[in-house]
Amino acid sequence: MTTPTIERSITAFLDGEDSLEIDNIIHSTEGAARFGFQGALVGGVTVYSWAVPALIEALGEDWLDSGWIDFRLRRPVYPGDQITTRVTPTDTNVEFTMAKAEGEVCIAGTAGLGQADFYPDLAVARNRVVVPPADPPIFLTPENLPIGEDLPAMAVPMSIEDAAEYADHFARDPHPRWRGEDARLHPGWIAGRCVRLTKHTYEYPAGIHAGSQIQMLAPAIAGQTLIVSGHVTDGYRRKQHEYCLLDVTISSESGQDLARLRHRTIYQVGGAD
């Protein structure tokens, strides 16, 4: 018997203020227009968060503790777009897409249980000493991108209330697993720590999430202060954009590694007016 494709749909929304005062102006109407986009871009990790219910339905709760995902963002998502997630089981894992009503695929990837093929390639930062955010932050350029170096680590308090707020405001996911005494940390929130780690030290006015590889290692529970550390693996230029490849580890208060991620981001967007 063939397992059917799982589908979930949502109307895309902007998860923050539509203003040039935000720290990534690509997520504002006026800022995105400077780079030739028709509207504010919805954040990539927010879009990914909308796929989580379908992925859990396909792979089970174990995916949150010891699963993996590998996806690329192909097309921008704008507020008001009707986005449908489709998760299709294969012989060994699942394939998934997130597409607009007219069929344009915005995100595509694979996910599964156990150790991902990419996991051994993820760099692990040796420097996990937490420091305050840089004041002022350093403007990030290809010349000072610290390829081959660890970034300063940061501490991230994440309360039970914060976990529920993320599920409500960003993921729009009412499931009780994100709430209460044993609240889980949402995979979308976990993916979003990569940009926040970069901006702990650096700043750039506009950036675009291009892809993620994420390996979950242990249950990530709210009500603690997480340690986020990272290593800049690579930087390169493609189609007028400057990219950064950042490998991140998220650890518990006790020092246990909960997740390792590789985040691909455009930190200098080409095509500005």
CA nearest neighbour of 154 among 207, 189, 196: 196
Residue 1 lies in a domain: no
The average pLDDT across 234-251 equals 97
| pLDDT score at 273 | 57
243, 72 contact by CB (below 8 A): no
Mean pLDDT, the chain, rounded, equals 96
Residue 241's alpha-carbon distances to 15, 25, 244, in angstroms, are: 24, 16, 10
67, 90 contact by CB (below 8 A): no
Burial tier of 190 (Cβ tally within 10 Å: 0-12, 13-18, 19+): buried
The average pLDDT across 76-80 equals 98
- The answer, yes or no, to whether residue 68 has pLDDT greater than 60, is yes
Answer left, alpha or beta for residue 148, where phi above 0 means left and psi between -120 and 50 means alpha: left
The values of phi and psi at residue 254, to 5°, are -80, -5
- The answer, yes or no, to whether residue 149 has pLDDT greater than 90, is yes
The average pLDDT across 104-130 equals 97
Residue 233 lies in a domain: yes
The average pLDDT across 73-96 equals 97
The average pLDDT across 65-79 equals 97
- Work out the percent of the chain whose per-residue pLDDT is above 90: 96
Residue 189 lies in a domain: yes
Sign of the torsion angle spanned by Cα atoms 218, 264, 82, 91: negative
- The CATH number given to whatever domain includes residue 131 is 3.10.129.10
Q: Which domain holds residue 180?
A: 6-268
CA distance 181 to 161: 10
Number of domains observed in the structure of the chain: 1
The average pLDDT across 206-231 equals 98
| pLDDT score at 1 | 34
| pLDDT score at 207 | 97
pLDDT confidence tier of residue 3, bands split at 50, 70 and 90: low
- The answer, yes or no, to whether residue 227 has pLDDT greater than 90, is yes
pLDDT confidence tier of residue 4, bands split at 50, 70 and 90: confident
Per-residue pLDDT tens for 159-204?
999 999 999 999 999 999 999 999 999 999 999 999 999 999 999 9
Residue 115 lies in a domain: yes
Q: What is the pTM of this model?
A: 0.96
242, two tokens: 């400057």
CA distance 270 to 267: 10
Residue 143 lies in a domain: yes
The average pLDDT across 132-145 equals 98
